[in-house]
Structure 1
Amino acid sequence: MDAQERRLRVLDILKEGERVRGTELAKALGVSRQIIVGDVALLKAGGVPVISTPRGYYLKKEPRGYLRTLVCFHKRRRTAEELRLIISLGGMVHNVSVEHEIYGSITANLEIKNKNDVDDFIRRMKMKRAPLLSTISGGIHSHLIETKGEKEMDMVEEGLRKAGFLYEDRQVRL
């Protein structure tokens, strides 16, 4: 199969709706993971709404719920606590963003929907010894959060406030 056919096959696989790791796509199509990375980049450049996460690729879907961006602050050791709190209150964490003095806003997709996603994210960060994106901004970061409705979002925001995670609350526990 030529490159164009392979990219169409990648798109067909992503249209099935499940998140797929690059290594799985590479194996299914008989190419290297790096070829898949390039194919996904070309699909994105062509306007295909492919989302890349540490847990794989998928096609972006329109949010079904209520969205709000909340600015947070904490040290690395409280990352799991913050994410688990959001999930426990009915939120989904779409991304994390920080402000960089040279590059401006830098955003990474997280797509954390449940406790298993939180545990997987924390495990991978520890295993890779990767710094959090928020180290760029001294711990200040924002999350795009989705809930079923405004009431649930208010609960997430209040929970983060009480736990000392909201940046507006300068009584931050470190």
Structure 2
Amino acid sequence: MTGAQRRAQIQAQLSANTDPISASSLARQLGVSRQTIVGDISLLRANGDAIVATLRGYQYENTAQPTAVLVCRHFPSDTQDEMQRIIAAGGIIKDVMIEHPLYGQLRGSLEIGTVGDLNLFLAHAKQHQGHLLSELTDGLHMHTIAYDTPEQLVAIKKSLRLAGYLYEE
């Protein structure tokens, strides 16, 4: 199988599934290494495919869903509560962004839409002794939030505002 054929198989797999597919799973199915899949995904992205990485694997981004960027500020210990509030109100946390004084905007893809996703994120952070991007900016950060209805966005903002996390001037 050529690289082009393999990438076409990856596209077909991702298109046929709404759930993420891990690089390891794709590698097993296609008889190549995980790193080959990671390279193929990079090439597909470079050619315009809207593939996002989640904690559970790769998937095509849902571009039909409306999004909003919310500015938040809180302590690292409030991260789980902040994210639970967004999920509970029907949101999907697409990413986290900060404005870094040296590098400009730094963005981390999250794709957290369920309590399971959140628990996986928190477990990975603990396991890898990870630091939050917001720790570089005194807790100030932005999230791109996907939602289905305007009422969900209102509920998300209300919940974050109630907790004191929504940064509004």
Q: Could you state the TM-score of these two structures normalised by the residue count of structure 2?
A: 0.92
Aligned counterpart, 2:55: 54
Identical-residue share of aligned pairs (%): 35
Q: Return the alpha-carbon distance in structure 2 between the equivalents of residues 152 and 61 of structure 1.
A: 17
Given the alignment of the two structures, is residue 20 of structure 1 paired with residue 21 of structure 2, yes or no?
A: yes
Q: Return the alpha-carbon distance in structure 2 between the equivalents of residues 27 and 138 of structure 1.
A: 43
- Render the CA deviation track for 1:119-139: whole Å, top value 9, x for unaligned: 111111111111112222221
- C-alpha displacement of 1:82: 0.6
Secondary structure of the residue aligned to 1:40 is helix
Q: Could you state the TM-score of these two structures normalised by the residue count of structure 1?
A: 0.89
Aligned counterpart, 1:29: 30
Flag structure 1 segments of 5+ consecutive residues without an equivalent: 170-174
Secondary structure of the residue aligned to 1:72 is strand
Aligned counterpart, 2:131: 131
Q: Which amino acid aligns with 2:49?
A: V
Aligned counterpart, 1:115: 115
Q: Which amino acid aligns with 2:25?
A: E
Q: Which amino acid aligns with 2:154?
A: D
Q: What are the residue-to-residue correspondences of 1:40-119 with 2, within 5 Å?
A: 40-64=41-65, 66-119=66-119
Secondary structure of the residue aligned to 2:38 is helix
- C-alpha displacement of 1:85: 0.9
Aligned counterpart, 1:144: 144
- C-alpha displacement of 1:147: 2.3
Compute the RMSD of aligned alpha carbons: 1.5
- Render the CA deviation track for 1:62-86: whole Å, top value 9, x for unaligned: 233x422110112221111110011
Q: How many correspondences in the alignment?
A: 168
